[in-house]
């Protein structure tokens, strides 16, 4: 017997066939431990890609401590919370930043209980579908921690951009996050960024160690996206509310962003065209959403 979601499912399947092969890469940005540099990295990486002509959006999914607007020195009119509450559509909530990068701030106090987060996932899924093909990449910057909403959303994305620092606690918490995800179900392709490295040698040592452990104990084939140097330009950018990629484009950390941007589109990352039309992007997100719900 067809269930209530059947008409919607059919509509989406039909759309999958008839819409253009444009696809938007959905990238969840996460870490185990907080404060490792996720928001600064995703914002500056998104700006780097946008400056190169890519269409990029950043959704601030850190509902407790939203701060992408603070890093950009703007006052947001709407938040992702308003989108999840159905007050406004995602496309209307998106603000336009430098280089036409689009973004929406998080807002505070989202429900973390299961029933409301389920509703939030459904609403965001619906909103994301309206954006398919409009962007090359949509980054969702999740806060630290691992609530029900976060875990659901991260699982539905194409890629998990995992940020660690060389500190043992950061690496251990990132491992715990991946382990928790594997226990709860599937894990998207994981790309690792090692932030705050004093040297590339130390970054490589952290990456190698982490890759080995998650490969051996979690059977996850983690790929390295790159390293980001420890650089005082980051805290200066935070204090001045001007992203370092704009305020200090010659800084070591800005150069690292260019490398990350390059790696994002190198053959490190599976080609979106060859990768199978239904396996990436917002359509794939939907597919996984329905599969997950049986
Ligand atoms: N590469 C770096 N070099 C120097 N300092 C850095 C670097 N990356 C991050 N920091 C410092 O860490 C602080 C926290 O960064 P950020 O807010 O981006 O972390 P986060 O992971 O998003 O935190 P949260 O988990 O709270 O969302 C920055 O304000 C900056 O002072
Ligand atoms: Mg953050």
- Flag whether 18 is in a domain: no
**Predicted confidence (pLDDT) per residue in 80-100, tens digit:** 888 988 899 999 999 999 999
Q: Return the residue whose CA atom lies nearest to atom 12 of ligand 1.
A: 37
Determine the distance separating the centroid of ligand 2 and the alpha carbon of 62, expressed in angstroms: 7
- Predicted confidence band of residue 1 (pLDDT cuts 50, 70, 90): very low
Q: What would you report as the CA-atom Rg of the chain, rounded to the nearest whole angstrom? A: 18
Task: Tell whether ligand 1 has an atom less than 6 A from the beta carbon of residue 32.
Answer: no
> In 3-state terms, what secondary structure has residue 9?
helix
Determine the distance separating the centroid of ligand 1 and the alpha carbon of 188, expressed in angstroms: 24
Range of the domain at 224: 24-292
Averaged over 180-191, what is the pLDDT? 90
**Predicted confidence (pLDDT) per residue in 241-282, tens digit:** 999 999 999 999 999 999 999 999 885 444 333 333 345 566
Task: Tell whether ligand 1 has an atom less than 6 A from the beta carbon of residue 35.
Answer: yes
Determine the distance separating the centroid of ligand 1 and the alpha carbon of 89, expressed in angstroms: 30
Looking at residue 221, which CATH number applies to its domain? Answer: 3.40.50.300
Ligand at minimal distance from the CA of 41 is 1
Task: Tell whether ligand 1 has an atom less than 6 A from the beta carbon of residue 164.
Answer: no
Q: What is the pTM of this model?
A: 0.86
- Predicted confidence band of residue 17 (pLDDT cuts 50, 70, 90): very low
Least confident of 139-153, 194-208, 238-252: 139-153
- Predicted confidence band of residue 14 (pLDDT cuts 50, 70, 90): very low
- Flag whether 183 is in a domain: yes
Task: Tell whether ligand 1 has an atom less than 6 A from the beta carbon of residue 230.
Answer: yes
As for how many domains the chain has, the answer is 1
Task: Tell whether ligand 1 has an atom less than 6 A from the beta carbon of residue 234.
Answer: yes
102 or 144, higher pLDDT: 102
Q: Which residue has the tokens 């959006």?
A: 57
What is the pLDDT, as a whole number, of residue 50? 98
**Predicted confidence (pLDDT) per residue in 19-73, tens digit:** 334 588 999 999 999 999 999 999 999 999 999 999 999 999 876 666 899 999 9
- Flag whether 71 is in a domain: yes
- Flag whether 5 is in a domain: no
Tokens, residue 40: 């600064």
Which atom belonging to ligand 1 lies closest to the Cα atom of 42?
18
Task: Tell whether ligand 1 has an atom less than 6 A from the beta carbon of residue 40.
Answer: yes
- Predicted confidence band of residue 283 (pLDDT cuts 50, 70, 90): low
- Flag whether 169 is in a domain: yes
What is the pLDDT, as a whole number, of residue 106? 84
Task: Tell whether ligand 1 has an atom less than 6 A from the beta carbon of residue 162.
Answer: no
Cβ neighbours for 47, distance < 8 A, ≥ 6 positions apart:
97, 98, 99, 101, 243, 245, 246, 257
What is the pLDDT, as a whole number, of residue 292? 56
What is the pLDDT, as a whole number, of residue 280? 58
275 or 215, higher pLDDT: 215
Give CA–CA dist 58/221, Å, rounded.
Answer: 26
What is the pLDDT, as a whole number, of residue 206? 96
Task: Name the residue of 37, 67, 239 to mutate for ligand 1: max ligand atoms within 8 A of Cβ.
Answer: 37
Cβ neighbours for 91, distance < 8 A, ≥ 6 positions apart:
127, 130, 131
- Flag whether 187 is in a domain: yes
- Flag whether 11 is in a domain: no
Mean pLDDT for the chain overall:
83
Q: Which residue has the tokens 């909403």?
A: 149
Averaged over 199-215, what is the pLDDT? 95
Task: Tell whether ligand 1 has an atom less than 6 A from the beta carbon of residue 202.
Answer: no
- Flag whether 10 is in a domain: no
Backbone angles phi, psi at 192, to 5 degrees: -100, 135
């Amino acid at each position: 017997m067809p269930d209530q979601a059947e008409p919607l499912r059919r509509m989406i399947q039909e759309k999958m066939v008839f819409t253009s092969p444009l696809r938007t890469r959905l990238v969840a940005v996460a870490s185990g431990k907080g404060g490792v540099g996720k928001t600064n990295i995703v914002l500056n990486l998104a700006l780097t890609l946008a400056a190169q002509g890519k269409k990029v959006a950043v959704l601030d999914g850190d509902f407790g401590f939203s701060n992408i607007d603070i890093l950009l020195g703007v006052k947001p009119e709407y938040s992702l919370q308003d989108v999840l509450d159905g007050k406004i559509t995602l496309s209307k909530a998106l603000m336009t930043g430098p280089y036409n990068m689009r973004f929406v701030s998080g807002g505070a106090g989202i429900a973390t209980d299961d029933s409301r987060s389920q509703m939030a996932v459904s609403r965001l899924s619906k909103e994301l579908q309206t954006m398919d093909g409009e962007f090359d990449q949509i980054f969702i910057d999740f806060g630290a921690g691992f609530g029900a909403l976060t875990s659901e959303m991260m699982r539905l994305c194409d890629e998990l951009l995992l940020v660690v620092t060389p500190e043992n606690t950061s690496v251990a918490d990132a491992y715990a996050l991946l382990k928790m995800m594997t226990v709860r179900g599937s894990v998207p392709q994981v790309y690792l960024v090692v932030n705050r490295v004093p040297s590339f040698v130390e970054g490589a040592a952290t990456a190698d160690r982490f890759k080995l452990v998650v490969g051996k104990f979690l059977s996850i084939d983690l790929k390295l996206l790159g390293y980001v140097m420890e650089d005082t330009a980051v805290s200066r950018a935070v204090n001045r509310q001007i992203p370092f990629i704009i305020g200090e484009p010659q800084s070591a950390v800005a150069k690292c962003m260019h490398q990350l941007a390059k790696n994002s589109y190198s053959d490190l990352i599976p080609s979106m065209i060859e990768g199978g039309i239904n396996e990436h992007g917002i359509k794939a997100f939907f597919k996984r959403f329905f599969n997950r719900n049986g």
